[in-house]
Chain A
Amino acid sequence: MPGKRAFLEGAGPLVTTLTPLPGARLAELLDGYRAAGRAPRRRALVLAVAIAVLALLAGSVAEVDPTRLWRHLGDFFGYFDRLTALEAGGGRVWTDPAEWFWGWRKWGLLLADTLLIAYVGTAIGAAGGFLLSFVAAANLVSNRWMRGTARRFLEFCRTVPDIVFALIFVIAFGLGPVPGVLAIAIHTMGALGKLFSEVVENIDLKPVEGATAAGASWVATLRFAVLPQVLPNYASYALLRFEVNVRQASVLGFVGAGGIGQDLIEAIRKFYYNDVAAILVLIIVTVMLIDLGTERLRHRLIGAMERSR
């Protein structure tokens, strides 16, 4: 060590002074820099103007009114103030959790129902997407008509929002969680079917060729050559979708399709501020816990997938 130090000190100061460039050369360089920056800058300006024009147009269509927002902005924060002030008087809601969460038994059950709706919907939808993904994958099905039909069907299922399905199903199946589950299932089938078929299209085809060469049927090829490759990815996507569906299930009650949404919209419409706050807190906490849990599971799945390679 001392030897190295002595060596470094012996080398003298590392910093040398820079001599400034001559004026003409400097001006030339600066000009070059500006010229290079001009074209992107002009493009950015055109883009900004285009966005501004579109925004003004959209603003007039959407009846945007900043003065109205300004006048009512206090109401927005006042709303949260009222959400957290005990209606019975006497301070903030968190000073009296027993009073705040008076309906925890009912809300807990509804929340559990909401999770069940999301789970059953995800399971049914994933099963449907699973079956259709093999039909919609370009490398497994050579019949163009079949593939195209499956793809259009999946596209339809995921483009129509699940709450629209729920609205229609509520009329067909009656109020309650059944239409909610089916709406989530159909939307999930569309979303997962597409993701699943993309996974299938990216698999290694060598095992498939091997199975075919050994005389396996189409189903046996799927089972032994395709499935082992895609299953971890499928499970990961299904878990991700479950997260999304928990959020969705919490609002499907708005249209009468079961879960905690029904109580939430009633509380909002009837101005039961403390109930709104309590239900929102319950939903947010549940969603966060589910997110954490599924994230951990997905990491384990991805880890297992990489180990098996």
Chain B
Amino acid sequence: MSTARILTLREAALADRAGLAARHPRVFRRFTAARLGVAFVAATALGLLAFGLWRLEFSPGRIAGGFGQLLHFLGLMLPPDPGSTSRALLILRGLAETLAIAFLGTLLAAALAFPLGFLAARNTSAGRVVHFLSRRALDSIRGVDALIWALIWVSVVGLGPFAGVLAIMTSDIGTFGKLFSEAIETADRRAVEGVTSAGGGRLAGIRFGVLPAVLPVMAGHVLYMFESNTRSSTIIGIVGAGGIGLMLSEMIRTLEWGVVSFIVLLILVAVAVIDAISGRLRAALAG
């Protein structure tokens, strides 16, 4: 121990560093298997990142130029301004469409996915083949993005918000089916056993044993997806499936930056309001 006043543990340790290293050689070893493994993973990840940057044609000049452009656009975006009252009304109508698409799409998807969830859950399914097939079908539906479904529905029912409703509905059936079936699989089995031992059949077991347990969970999922769909239905207008996205992409393409920032601001507010309402409802469900 030195005679100098020691302030903290760290200073004491640093003063005696050589002694510590001599007493605990294992802690101070530079190369351990774990460290080499971490270094290898990190090097691979960084190497892939560098290759990606090269392959995707990132160049400092392009990035700098692009950010310069963005700053210029940002200056033009202020203040947010819809331009004219008639255009503001059009934008509000687009927003209403967006919310309607999200609401109806979620509702229809939930209604259609409800029976599918039971088919895809291991404990309520009608046999292993049905279970497997319905799982894979739901996976495939989920693998296709809502925008792609929107394109397909636009070519079936024509341009407009109705195609958007159908697109949100189709892409959500996959998600809901998976979430619902997981909720059903994790439901307490004892309730079903109780119903069965009292003489209830299979359907009665589902109705009185499973449903009361899973309905609140499902309602929570539906509300959560409604929040998420408010976001996705703002963009499906880009491919012509209704909502505010059509207006937004038009305004971006024609470089009307004031209107763009107005629409983005409107979307932010709408999403925040929906999130607040649905968050409160979900809290009420859980409590």
Interface positions of A (Cβ within 8 A of B): 51, 54-55, 57-59, 61-65, 68-69, 72, 75-76, 79, 113, 116-117, 119-120, 123, 156, 159-161, 163-164, 167-169, 171-174, 176-179, 181-182, 213-216, 247-248, 250-251, 254-255, 258, 264-265, 268, 280, 283-284, 287-288
B28 proximity list for chain A (CB < 8 A): none
User: Is residue B58 contacting chain A, with contact meaning CB distance below 8 A?
Assistant: yes
Cβ-defined contact, A250 with B235, below 8 A: no
Cβ-defined contact, B107 with A55, below 8 A: yes
Distance of A113 Cα from B54 Cα, bound (Å): 11
Main secondary structure of the interface of B (DSSP, over half): helix
Distance of A116 Cα from B147 Cα, bound (Å): 21
Binds A, one of B15-23, B62-70, B123-131, B179-187: B62-70
Of the candidates B65, B69, B103, the one whose C-beta lies within 8 Å of that of A55 is B103
Contact sample, A vs B, 25 pairs, CB 8 Å cutoff:
A55-B107, A57-B100, A61-B100, A62-B101, A62-B164, A64-B162, A76-B153, A113-B56, A117-B56, A120-B49, A120-B52, A123-B52, A161-B232, A161-B235, A163-B235, A171-B73, A171-B253, A173-B63, A178-B58, A178-B62, A215-B8, A255-B249, A268-B151, A268-B155, A284-B144
Of the candidates A161, A167, A173, the one whose C-beta lies within 8 Å of that of B234 is A161
Contacts A61-B100, A116-B52 given; indicate if A75 touches B156 (C-beta within 8 A).
yes
Interface size class of chain B, counting residues whose CB lies under 8 Å from the partner chain = 35 or more
Contacts A113-B56, A159-B267 given; indicate if A72 touches B151 (C-beta within 8 A).
no
Distance of A216 Cα from B150 Cα, bound (Å): 55
Distance of A164 Cα from B73 Cα, bound (Å): 14
User: Is residue B195 contacting chain A, with contact meaning CB distance below 8 A?
Assistant: no
Contacts A64-B104, A167-B238, A168-B73 given; indicate if A116 touches B148 (C-beta within 8 A).
no
Cβ-defined contact, B97 with A164, below 8 A: no
A58 proximity list for chain B (CB < 8 A): 99-101, 103-104
Main secondary structure of the interface of A (DSSP, over half): helix
Cβ-defined contact, A172 with B70, below 8 A: yes
Cβ-defined contact, A123 with B45, below 8 A: yes
Distance of A248 Cα from B235 Cα, bound (Å): 12
Contacts A251-B147, A258-B56 given; indicate if A159 touches B160 (C-beta within 8 A).
no
A176 proximity list for chain B (CB < 8 A): 56-57
Within 8 A of A (CB), among B120-172: 139-140, 143-145, 147-148, 151-153, 155-158, 160-162, 164-166
Distance of A255 Cα from B55 Cα, bound (Å): 20
Cβ-defined contact, A283 with B268, below 8 A: no
